[in-house]
Structures are given as C-alpha cells and as structure tokens.
Chains A and B, each alone.
Chain A
Amino acid sequence: MDRKPLALLLLAVGALALAAAAAHARPAADPGVTDTTITIGGTVPLTGSFSSVAGVARGAEAYFKWLNAQGGVNKRKILYKYYDDQYNPSLTVQQTRQLVQQDKVFAIFNTVGTEHNLAIRGFLNELDVPHLFLATGLTAWGRQYKEYPWTMGYLPSYVAEGTIYGKYLLGAKPTARVAILHQDDDYGKDLVAGLRKGLGRRAGRMIVATETYSPEQADVRSEIIRLKASGANTLMIFAFGKFAIQSFAFVRETGWRPLIFVNQVASSANVMLVSGSAGENKRVHGALTIGFVKDPADVRWSSDRGMKLYFRIMKRYLPRANARDGYHAYGMASAFTMADALRRAGRNPTRASLIRAATNLTERNNPFLMPGIVVRTRSNDRFPIAQAQLQRFRYYKAGRDWAGRWIPFGKLVTARG
C-alpha cells in the first residue's frame, strides 16, 4: 500500500459518515398510513430475462394513479412503490427489507415469483406485515395460512389449474398420451401434481413422458425433442416467459403435431402471437389454456365496459406501454382487489384490519376479471380467484396480418385447492 490510498481512505470515512447522517431513520408511529396516503410496495423483475412480466406492477400502478385521481380510498391516496429485483431472490429480500424497514410500507403487495415470495414470507409474517395478492400461484399460499396468516396469493393455484386440464382431457381425449414440459421448481411440480389429480387413476397410463427445465438454461430444444420421441400426442407446456415461446417453436421445428396445453401464466394472447411469429408457426392454433383476466389483446372485449376503462387508464397513465400486454390487465385486476381490501379495512386501517378485510372479500364487480368470476375469501379459505374459464386459441389471417384470440368454451370451472 503506497501513500496515495490514504487520503482516499479518509475520504471513505467521510463518505460513510455522510451516508450515515443522511440515512438516519425516524421511526413512524403507524407504518405506511398518513392522513392522506397509504403506501404499499413490492418487487418485480423490470430488467433481465423475466422483465416481460413488468406489466404486472406497471398496470397496478396505473390503476392506483387513476383511482387516486378519483379521490383514492377513504380519502387517502394509494402510493405503490415497486423495486426491480431482476428476478434475483436475494435482491427481493434486500428490497423487501428496504420497503418494510426503510420506506415503512403498510403492506407488501403483488410481489412476483415463487421462490422470491418464499424468501420473504417468514420475515413478513414474523413482523406482522400483510403480504397480499402475490403474483404466483403456489398452492402453499392458500393452504399454509395457519403458519403464515399474513400471506395470501391471488391467481388460481397451479394445482387447481393442472386439475382442470386433467379433468378436461379425461372427458375430451381419454386415449391421450401426454408429454409434460415443466419448470423444475414448486411452480412446475404443483401443475404436474394437479394434472395427476385431474387424471385420477389413469394418470400413470396417460402420462408417457416428463421433462424439466431450469430457468437458468438457454433453451428447451433437447427437452422437446425427447418429449416428441416418447410418441406422445398431447403436450403440456408448463413453462414461463421465453421457454413457452421456445416450446412452440421447437414443436414446429421437429414436425410434431400434438394437442397443446399451455399454462395460464404464459398464455396471454400477446405471447401466443409472438409464438405464432406472423403466421409461420400455426401450432399455436387450437392450443388450450385457462383464463380469468380479460385479455386486452382479445377483440371479444372491445366493447366491454371494464376493458374500455382499462384502455383509458393505459392511454392516460402508460401511454408508451403495449396496452395489448395482458400482464397490465392482471396488474389492474389485482390492484382493484387491493383497493377493495384497503377500503374495507376501515377509515383508520391497521395491518390487522387489512388482513381481516382481505380475508373476507366477496367481490363481484372486478371489471378486469372475466364475467362471473367472484373474488371470494374467508379466513379459512384463501384462494381469492377460484374460478376459471377453459379457452382455445384461434389463429387466423386478418387481412395481411395474422391475428389470434382465445375462444372460451364451456362454463366457468372451479379452480379451488
């Protein structure tokens, strides 16, 4: 060590001291609630390979801004802070610490990702911070409410979704030979468990091949090739983000023609159109999924009142975003429910009253959810959205371009458990 670093060493001391002085935190009496505001927060990947889900937070933020312009909730404006965790669970932990310990938010809302929410669940329950409407469908969120009373999910559980596909297959194609591609984590395993449950005793015979992928790998080409080699005629794509899009591409590349089921988290019409790549890949036609949020890329809703509101909010508060991206609509649906819970938490909401309100919802008027879907929760029943609609993708030429939309069929099905 020469002389030169020493001045800088002192400089570092100064910097540390300055940062310390600037950072000196004042304890708040009632975290996150003032006479005019309620501050909530969460994390979401805004950069990196999972940034395609950023709309989940941006849509929610836009809805709160619109709601605040209408007067907010019980005369308080809702401030929603979200940080970019880059889908890195360690950053989720650090930023959730920041939200709770530094920014003093009232509740954690809409945090994206299964392992990410698992990483903060213990901490939030230890500190009695509401951890609500998580953007992940792990069945544990709804089931483990006795151990983690401050935590509740939002979307239909992955087990329930898998069960719906299994039951449908038993009725519609009982001779199917099923191949499954799933992510190698709780999310993928829950979907497979649900599918087995839906297929019941025939599961062992019908499922002929299972392949897993890790979100860290580059692509799923070899997995799809192995699944095709199994001789299956039905493919379950329980994959997320780019891996779902790749699955369609590799199915076409290998000349495979299975009946395709694609899990809800990767089934927005927007993603399907990308997979179709302008008419090149017609394998997307006829694919099946479940839905519960109105898909803004679907012309079926063009005269729907809720979706008109959605497009108004998008135009006003997110003019540069792709309004056809269904994640924005999902974000607005969950923000609507959050605002509902905050309203019912009373004029002077506390964290306990928020949890009581959030676990006693009967919400029939969520404008962003499909008609007939009721957000219903009780203290011992914590699956907010427990209904879903089976739908089939129609891919067609519209003028010079290719268009696509999900066509619902049958009645709403239950998606509990």
Chain B
Amino acid sequence: MRRYVFAVAWRVAALAALAIAILVLPRYVGVFRANQFALVGIFFIALLGLNIVTGHAGQISLAHGAFMAIGGYTTAILVSGGPTLGEPLNLWPNALEGGVRDLWTIPLAGLAAALAGFLFALPALRLTGLYLALATFAIAVATPAVLAKPAEITGGSRGIQLFGLPELSGKGFEQVGFLGHDVPFEDFVYYVTWLIAAALFAAAWLMLNGRIGRAFRAVRDSEVAAAASGVNPAAYKTLAFAVSAFYAGVAGSLYVILNWGAAPRSFPVLLSIQLLIGLVVAGLGSLGTLVLGALFIQFLPEAIRRSGDLGLLPDALQRWGDEPGAPNVVFGAVLVTLVLLLPTGAAGLPRRAAAALTSRRYSQS
C-alpha cells in the first residue's frame, strides 16, 4: 500500500514538474524557441495518436503525416473560407463568409482526420504487418499529389496562405490575448498546443488504461485470443485508426496555424517517417516518454548543426555533419541502432538497465 501511494505521488510530482516547466518556458525563451517548443507539442500530439494505433493496437502506420495533412487542410480551408487563388471560393453561407476563427477549426480538423482514418481502416483491416505498412506508406506518398489536384478547394501546389487573415489569431503576428495576458502569436500557439496536448494526453491515458486499452493490446498480441475473449478485432482496429487519426488531425491543424498556411509539400513522406521514428525512440506503447520522441524529431537536425559550433565532434565527422541530408542519415542510423540495441525505446531503458545490473549481480553471487 505504501509503495502504491509512493508511486502515485511520484507520478503526480513528475507531471506537475513537467506542467510547470511547460507553463513558464515562454517567459525565458524568445518567440522563436516558443515556436519550436510549440512544434514539439504538435509532434507530441501526433505521437500520442500514433502510439494508440501502433503502440497499443499493434497496427503500424506510416500514414500519420497524411492524417496531419487532412486536419491541416481542413483548418486552412475553413479559416480562409476557400483558397486565396484569384477569385475566392464561396464555400459557406453568408453567416460564415470570410472564414472561421482558427481555434474553432481544431476539433473539426480532428473529426475530418478521424473520418479519414475510419474510412482507411475499413480496407486496411485485411492487411497485417508489412502489407499494412506498405499500404499506409502509399497513402503518405500519394497525399501531396492528391492535395495539389483540386486547386479550387486546396489552392493547388501553392496551397493556402493564412498570414494576415483576421480569422487567424492575431493575424499571425500581433499580440493575442490568452487568459488575460497579451502574448506574442508564437507563445499563444505554444500555450494552446500544450493545453490541447495535456487534455489529449489525459484522454489517451484514461482510454489506454481502461477496457478499450486492454482490448487494443489483446488485439495486438493475438487476434484469435482476443476474439475468443469477446473482443471484436475489426471493430477495435477501426476504432484505433479513427482515434489515432483524430490526434494527427488536431496536430496537423495546429501545424498549419503555426506556419500560417498549408501547401502540399508541407506534408511530405518524410513527416510520416519522422513520426514513426519518434515513436520508436520514445518506446512503442509508452505514454510518458513520448515527449522525448517529439523533442528528438524537432531538435535532432539543429543538434547536429550545433554540435560543430560547440566543438563536440571531430573535424572530419563535423564536415560530414554539415552535408545536407546528414540529419536524415542520423535519423536512419538511430532507428537501426535502437531497434537492434533498445527495442523498447527510451521507455524500456530503465527496466533494461536494471535487468542488466541485477542479472550481473545474481550471476556473480
């Protein structure tokens, strides 16, 4: 009992510390860093979603960049009231003319992506393992081209610019009121992102620690056993995809708000791959360490670039690190190393380290 109380207190303390760190961070960093940490929050939300479908329900997805794109474009189209290509498209009745305030589009973006995830899951149910990975990869590859096609709706290759629109909070550059304070646009998006992230984190925690989470894991571990226990694998896989896509859609919506717009090339294949790498780094199935995965995605390229300034790397290695594309090579190398040495990711590190230590002690005694 005492151990249990201690464990709960420890958890609460950790979460509270994280919450306070997140809350005060923008006071100590410039707007640019706030923007970067907002991106961390956005990746965190996407990873929460990916973790549900891949980490718990065991369905690999390389399509989460595409779900982000669907959410992002939902927001871009709603905020702009149609793309700003010459003649604006009148998508809405007069009451809504000129677009929708950005914040209200976030849940709609999530729902649009959830619908896409649901529809995608219907055929994807028949696929497992590698085949599912390939099918989701195909979605990620096709998405930018598909987005560019209906130019009247999506703005074609140019995409949709939101900077300066009154429906965008602070038009994208002015101070925005947030809980009685006027904060820069980047700080505002940062707070909104982490507020949503906290809510979605709590939702994911509740879901994954309850009946639904157990059902996901049952499906992951053995569909036959799950079915025998009264869990419908098809229904739960579909649910996992839809919920997961909802998270990605919300992330995509925030991404578009932060970057003042959407273009097909804003959602390349690489984005989906980076999300999966972030999840593997954090540890499949973990919740608490997903932040590490998000930090990894956001800061690895800069870390490689910066390491030279700090003189951390030998010259030859640094020259290589300055080559364009080095971050992607490192992404790949880290992924391979992790899968080989640390298949449980950052989340599994303490237990594996403990296991290594204790096993040695036992063998010595």
A residues in contact (CB < 8 Å) with B = 1, 3-13, 15-17, 19-21, 23-25, 46-48, 51, 54, 84, 86-90, 93-94, 97-98, 101-102, 114-115, 118-119, 122-123, 126-127, 183-186, 214-217
Kindly identify, within residues 306 to 323 of chain B, every residue whose CB is under 8 Å from any CB belonging to chain A: none
Is A184's CB under 8 angstroms from B157's CB? yes
**Chain B residue contacts of A216, Cβ below 8 A:** 144-145, 147-148, 157, 264-265
Additional 5 contacts, C-beta under 8 A, given A6-B11, A184-B148: A4-B286, A9-B291, A90-B259, A97-B35, A126-B164
Is B158's CB under 8 angstroms from A118's CB? yes
Identify which of A51, A89, A186 contacts B261 (C-beta below 8 A).
Answer: A89
- Cα of A180 to Cα of B270 in the assembled complex, Å: 32
Is B287's CB under 8 angstroms from A89's CB? no
Is B28's CB under 8 angstroms from A122's CB? no
Question: Binding site of A, secondary structure by majority: helix, strand, loop or mixed?
Answer: helix
| Beta-carbon nearest neighbor of A126 in chain B | B173
Identify which of A13, A25, A183 contacts B17 (C-beta below 8 A).
Answer: A13
Q: Scoring B residues 8 to 40 as 1 if CB is less than 8 Å from chain A, else 0, what string do you get?
A: 001100110110011001001111110111010
Is B32's CB under 8 angstroms from A5's CB? no
**Chain A residue contacts of B17, Cβ below 8 A:** 10, 13
Is B264's CB under 8 angstroms from A93's CB? no
- Cα of A118 to Cα of B286 in the assembled complex, Å: 40
Residue of A4, A84, A102 with most partner-chain B CB within 10 A:
A4
B interface, size bucket: 35 or more
Is B28's CB under 8 angstroms from A20's CB? yes
| Beta-carbon nearest neighbor of B142 in chain A | A216
Is A5's CB under 8 angstroms from B289's CB? yes
Given A86-B270, A90-B255, A118-B161: A19 in contact with B299 (beta carbons within 8 A): yes
| Beta-carbon nearest neighbor of B10 in chain A | A6
**Chain A residue contacts of B33, Cβ below 8 A:** 19-20, 23, 25, 102
Please tell me if B324 contacts chain A, counting CB pairs below 8 Å: yes
Identify which of B11, B144, B325 contacts A46 (C-beta below 8 A).
Answer: B325
**Chain B residue contacts of A115, Cβ below 8 A:** 157-159, 263, 265
Please tell me if B156 contacts chain A, counting CB pairs below 8 Å: yes
Say which one of B87-95, B115-123, B330-338, B347-355 lies at the interface with A: B347-355
| Beta-carbon nearest neighbor of A113 in chain B | B265
Is B31's CB under 8 angstroms from A101's CB? yes
**Chain B residue contacts of A123, Cβ below 8 A:** 163, 172-173, 260
Please tell me if B225 contacts chain A, counting CB pairs below 8 Å: no
Please tell me if B133 contacts chain A, counting CB pairs below 8 Å: no
Is A8's CB under 8 angstroms from B157's CB? no
| Beta-carbon nearest neighbor of B302 in chain A | A98
Identify which of A88, A102, A185 contacts B158 (C-beta below 8 A).
Answer: A185
Given A114-B158, A118-B158: A15 in contact with B295 (beta carbons within 8 A): yes
Identify which of B35, B259, B288, B328 contacts A9 (C-beta below 8 A).
Answer: B288
- Cα of A20 to Cα of B21 in the assembled complex, Å: 10
Please tell me if B292 contacts chain A, counting CB pairs below 8 Å: yes
A239 CB to nearest chain B CB (Å):
13
**Chain A residue contacts of B149, Cβ below 8 A:** 214
Identify which of A46, A90, A126, A184 contacts B156 (C-beta below 8 A).
Answer: A184
Is B266's CB under 8 angstroms from A90's CB? yes
B75 CB to nearest chain A CB (Å):
13
Please tell me if B207 contacts chain A, counting CB pairs below 8 Å: no
Identify which of B21, B266, B268 contacts A13 (C-beta below 8 A).
Answer: B21
